[in-house]
Structure 1
Amino acid sequence: MLYLFLISLAVLALLSIIFEEVTHLNKAKTTLFFGCISWVVLFMSAGDPAHEKIVEAELNENLLEIATLWLFLMSTMTFVAYLNAKGMIQILVQKLFPQKVSVRVLMLQVALFALVLSAICDNVTATLVSLGLLTTFKLDSQIRRRMAVLIIFAVNSGGVALITGDVTTLMIFLGGHVQMSELLLLFIPAAVSVMLLAVLFSMKAEGHVSTTPIKREYQRVDVVIAAIFFSTIIATMALNVLFSVPPVLTFLTGLSVMFLVGHNSRSNKEELQILEYIRQVEYDTLLFFLGILLLVGMLKEIGTLDLLTQVYAQFDPNISNFVTGIGSALLDNVPLTAALLKAEPILNTPEWLGLTYSVGVGGSLLVIGSAAGIIAMSKVKELTFVSYLKYVPALLLCYSLGYGLTLLLAYHFYG
């Protein structure tokens, strides 16, 4: 009965996200409520001090993972929020993209931009920067929503090809199951599937759009902070590969440098305005992540993820990997991947590459299935759980094509 009650709390949290437009209850607050209540129930049902200690240890482990993600999100969001407030992202877009472009061409350009960016930096940063592009173009609500969906899929797809792009790819790599050169193969099916989605989305898109003119002038310190941001991204990749420095530590270091530089160049009043802007824009996103991860941690604690691992072993690995990717749209792909790695399935190289692609990209099938989707839902008001569902057929088609190409190439080169 206890497990059914806890699972029902997770279902209620999911329903609160789905029907947010009907209930008018903020999804960040509802998921946080159900996430906290689920752990309170776990403590109350422990029964004796020994079991309470076990639950406490699991909660502390879960909170450590959440704190790491929160700090990483906070540091990346602070950079992006600052640069967006100063118009630097819009200025960059004006340098990279033409001032007037057809919607069809813009879709292809944005897809390619998000795909490449997510391969060289983390999904959170790639999503925030790519969504920043949308604010520079005068798009109607339907096109903006379609662009946001395209960015989610492109970011998740690009992240699978390098260990710097996706946590699950890094986990499988550190487990010794795939090599760096083998992972690079995944960029081909990722690029093909993303371009297919861009073409499908652009078929009914007509007309031209222009960038919003930027009249304000930027100062030298804004350029310096932009350089610090991109240097931090490069340093994050290099230090993680060479010395296994956690990405959150590198980004917090970059953030501290940004604060030191900004403090010497800004008035206290202006610093407070920037911090207030960050708080207003990002706080709901952080609360949403907190609630979701508390719920996933609870499901892991009661053994639901272990049950999924047992089901995985019952079928052919190629089929299980495909279905696991779809499952990662409902459950966070990080604990799902961790559970599979802990089970130590016996897979060959093509099967490991298939798993890497599926858990990395499959979360795109639902808006709540990936960090990119959650961030996009909090940033693009036209994007909701229900409105995202209309794009699922196209997303499933492109995911299936990418997975099929992954197996085809993997078995050809490594089978």
Structure 2
Amino acid sequence: MVRFLLVLLILVLPELALASGFESLKLTGTERGIYTVIIFVIAYGFVMAEEFTGMKKSKPVILAAGIIWAHAAVLATSAGVTTEALHEAFEYNLKEYAELMLFLLVAMTYINAMAERNVFEALRSWMVRKQFGYRKLFWITGIITFFLSSVADNLTSALLVGAVVLAVGSDNEKFVSVSFVNLVIAANAGGAFCPFGDITTLMVWQAGYAEFFDFFKLFIPSVVNFLVPAAFMYFAVPDEHPVASNEAAVVMKPGAIQVCVLFFLTIASAVSFKQFLHLPPFMGMMVGMSVLMLYGFRITTLYRADENNQFDIFNQVRDAEWDTLLFFFGVVFAVGGLGYIGYLELLSAAMYDGLGFTTANILVGIISAIVDNIPVMFAVLNMSLDMDLYQWLLVTLTAGVGGSMLSIGSAAGVALMGQSQHKYTFFSHLKWTPVIAAGYAASIFTHYLVNG
């Protein structure tokens, strides 16, 4: 927390000039400039307090983004900047958001479609009926979450598998608590080595700093990040069996397997658009979504008389995580506005010029345990850093897994605290922070050994 406050202090110091994607105003020392930083800090305070206030995180950051850009426009006018130059800076952020939002919307729609077809519920039912022991379930749920989060986001993966943990261990608080910590680590680690697994990884890929298959070089470091703390926590899991369950098997709805296949073909389409056609990957995702829409129409036609098996794609679009998508809008424009005023240049000078690439990138992961990794990574991407592939993969890894050190450091942790019925809390996670930090350090060292 002290380091985070030091970063904020740096933001209000007189300006330091560095090159960026577009010419910044370099007006960080002005009263209006400092005011925008205060607005951002206040808004993010509300984001961090979401668990206690109940106010969705998108609301304060969207308001902050509007206020910040209003002040940026006034500062630009007072500095004699042309309207065209102001629009260029603004539209840069709009382009960044539009590409990522459309990509994520398709991914979320597919995940919702698979959930609606009972794919995940059938998996949960199967695991409950197998009557595995708690220790075996600890590993099974962790490994499933690790790989599931490489194609779904960490929030969805943790919640889906968390439902399994609660279903089989509702009468054993210790098992639920330790398993939920394991799920948070697994979800964050699994999302780090694939562009589809985490928003920050997706941002690095779409920005062109690494190719799609480059991220798989992080697979072994991600595995280490998951296994090191899991090996310690395993001995805290009760060596017992859950109470026998008589739950009936859940049957998947018609078209469930086909929807899963279409999702993986959509991923292949996105990769192909990027790798071979040199077009933004969201276009490949939109093509995949159109195929899902057509297949959904076929399901509806075949089961017109059976309302339970009909499929409406727009219900899945409606149920996308709109709070997350709009939060991302607020973050992109708020951070982008601060960058236009000149604050990202200050941050870049303080961290990367002052500490060096490796130390700064490790610090990014530590900061992301306190602050959401999305604004942190967006800030890094907009610093116009001249880093090689090794360093871009390092910051992708640290930003992805650093949030595991605290329960509030990632969406997965926050969501599981709400789902756990008070069996998993901030402090039950905190007592495992030392071994999670050991996994964080081990993954960085493994990245050095494997990719350095």
Task: Tell me the TM-score range normalised by the shorter chain.
Answer: 0.7 to 0.9
Cα distance, 1:16 vs structure 2 = 0.9
Cα distance, 1:310 vs structure 2 = 0.8
Change (3 A) 1:376 1:237: farther
Cα distance, 1:148 vs structure 2 = 5.5
Number of the residue aligned with 1:85: 116
* Kept in 2: contact 1:115–1:155 (CA 8 A): yes
Task: Map residues 282-293 of structure 1 onto 2, 5 A cutoff.
Answer: 282-293=321-332
Match of 1:133 among 145, 149, 161: 161
Structure 1 position 263 matched with structure 2 position 297? yes
Which residue identity is paired with 1:20? Answer: E
Number of the residue aligned with 1:343: 385
Q: In structure 1, the residue corresponding to 2:77 is in which secondary structure? A: coil
Number of the residue aligned with 2:102: 71
Change (3 A) 1:291 1:175: closer
Change (3 A) 1:254 1:171: closer
Distance, in Å, in 2 between the alignment partners of 1:219 and 1:337 is 43
The number of residues matched between the two structures is 401
* Kept in 2: contact 1:350–1:407 (CA 8 A): no
Larger deviation, residues 273-282 vs 331-340: 273-282
How far does the alpha carbon of each residue in 1:376-412 deviate from its partner, in whole angstroms, 9 at most, with x for none?
646873489x95576356456435544445436635x
* Kept in 1: contact 2:224–2:442 (CA 8 A): no
Which residue identity is paired with 1:153? Answer: I
* Kept in 2: contact 1:193–1:401 (CA 8 A): yes
* Kept in 2: contact 1:160–1:357 (CA 8 A): yes
Distance, in Å, in 1 between the alignment partners of 2:106 and 2:121 is 20
Structure 1 position 19 matched with structure 2 position 49? yes
User: Greater Rg, structure 1 or structure 2?
Assistant: 2
The alignment yields a C-alpha RMSD, in angstroms, of: 4.0
Which ranges of structure 1 fall in alignment gaps of 5 or more residues?
none
Q: In structure 2, the residue corresponding to 1:3 is in which secondary structure? A: helix
Change (3 A) 1:226 1:175: closer
Number of the residue aligned with 1:318: 358
Task: Map residues 89-100 of structure 1 onto 2, 5 A cutoff.
Answer: 89-93=120-124, 99-100=130-131
Cα distance, 1:250 vs structure 2 = 1.8
Q: In structure 1, the residue corresponding to 2:411 is in which secondary structure? A: helix
* Kept in 2: contact 1:32–1:292 (CA 8 A): yes
Q: In structure 1, the residue corresponding to 2:132 is in which secondary structure? A: strand
Distance, in Å, in 1 between the alignment partners of 2:298 and 2:261 is 17
Distance, in Å, in 1 between the alignment partners of 2:237 and 2:439 is 23
Distance, in Å, in 1 between the alignment partners of 2:438 and 2:345 is 26
Distance, in Å, in 2 between the alignment partners of 1:380 and 1:397 is 20
Structure 1 position 35 matched with structure 2 position 35? no
Which ranges of structure 2 fall in alignment gaps of 5 or more residues?
1-30
Structure 1 position 374 matched with structure 2 position 411? yes
Change (3 A) 1:171 1:285: closer
Match of 1:60 among 61, 69, 91: 91
Aligned-residue sequence identity (percent) comes to: 21
Which residue identity is paired with 2:41? Answer: V
Cα distance, 1:19 vs structure 2 = 2.6
Number of the residue aligned with 2:287: 253
Larger deviation, residues 259-268 vs 150-159: 150-159
Q: In structure 1, the residue corresponding to 2:282 is in which secondary structure? A: helix
> Normalising by the residue count of structure 2, what TM-score does the alignment of the two structures yield?
0.72
How far does the alpha carbon of each residue in 1:66-87 deviate from its partner, in whole angstroms, 9 at most, with x for none?
2222212221111111221221
Distance, in Å, in 2 between the alignment partners of 1:161 and 1:277 is 27
How far does the alpha carbon of each residue in 1:82-111 deviate from its partner, in whole angstroms, 9 at most, with x for none?
221221122245567873223433232233
Distance, in Å, in 2 between the alignment partners of 1:142 and 1:7 is 42
Cα distance, 1:171 vs structure 2 = 6.7
Number of the residue aligned with 1:398: 436
* Kept in 2: contact 1:376–1:383 (CA 8 A): no
Match of 1:170 among 192, 205, 209: 205
Structure 1 position 5 matched with structure 2 position 5? no
* Kept in 2: contact 1:285–1:375 (CA 8 A): no
* Kept in 2: contact 1:115–1:157 (CA 8 A): yes
Match of 2:445 among 401, 404, 407: 407
Change (3 A) 1:359 1:135: closer
Distance, in Å, in 1 between the alignment partners of 2:178 and 2:82 is 48
* Kept in 2: contact 1:168–1:356 (CA 8 A): no
Cα distance, 1:14 vs structure 2 = 1.8
Structure 1 position 225 matched with structure 2 position 265? no
Which residue identity is paired with 2:162? Answer: L
Match of 2:334 among 295, 301, 312: 295
> Normalising by the residue count of structure 1, what TM-score does the alignment of the two structures yield?
0.78
